[in-house]
Amino acid sequence: MTALHLADEGEAADLAAFLSRLLHYDRSAAVRLQATGTALAVFGRPPSFEVLAIRAVRLAKPYENGLDVSLDVTVSAGELLESVDEAAATAAVPRAVTGPPWAGVLPPRGGWRPEPGLPGPEALRALVRAAVTEFKARTQELAPERRVRAELDGIGREIWSRTVGDTNLPVRAVHAAQSLGFLRPGAPGDLALVSSGAWLRLRTAYGSIAVRRTGTGPLGLSVR
């Protein structure tokens, strides 16, 4: 296995935390890794949120494997997590796996421009809390015979598909950012909403959530 030398123990701990959260939602989760120079991007798709999560990781030295100077591979999130050594700030690249359909397609690398209308971090966290409270209240009000998966999913889709403020960003993207540790209280304030083509991306200091604009179909990924 090829070793990845992470920038420090903190980067290793954050990578491990991100992988653990992905595995919480999908015990067989896969992640796509892309590394060039001292930057590693880890892509995952927690099924509960229907979004693409991106965690950027700093490397201590450029990735290098023989004559290869870049890395692009889909691997098991569980195997990658097991290989993370926080004290040594290293991780090993597991063997490649046949990834799920989303792993073969990614948002564009460039062309991102700012989008207006995104509320501040505390307002976003309050929005998620209100949505969770509403979901619980509405499902508890259902008669026992109506508490079936289809009914619960319908309520969830209605709530989480609402948009944030004057943007086209669905609330589920903010919920995903918070659940995956990207929207932490006290985090640096470099929070932004950007777009490229049909894609919207919520960027924070700890990672990004990418989704397609409403009306373009599920994720609507284009092959890269």
What are the residues whose beta carbons fall under 8 Å from the beta carbon of 13, sequence distance 6 or more?
86
| Domains parsed from the chain with CATH numbers | 2-104 (3.10.150), 113-187 (no CATH)
pLDDT in tens, 116-128: 999 999 999 999 9
pLDDT in tens, 153-179: 999 999 999 999 999 999 999 999 999
Instruction: State the pLDDT confidence band at 224, using cuts at 50, 70 and 90.
Output: very low
Phi, psi of 88 (to 5 degrees): -90, -10
- Using DSSP's 3-state secondary structure scheme, residue 117 falls into coil
pLDDT in tens, 72-85: 999 999 999 999 99
Mean local confidence (pLDDT), 67-76: 85
Q: What is the pTM of this model?
A: 0.88
pLDDT attached to residue 1: 67
CA angle 88, 90, 94 (to 5 degrees): 145
pLDDT in tens, 99-114: 799 998 789 988 999 9
The token duo for 89 is 């700030």
pLDDT attached to residue 67: 59
The token duo for 194 is 């950007």
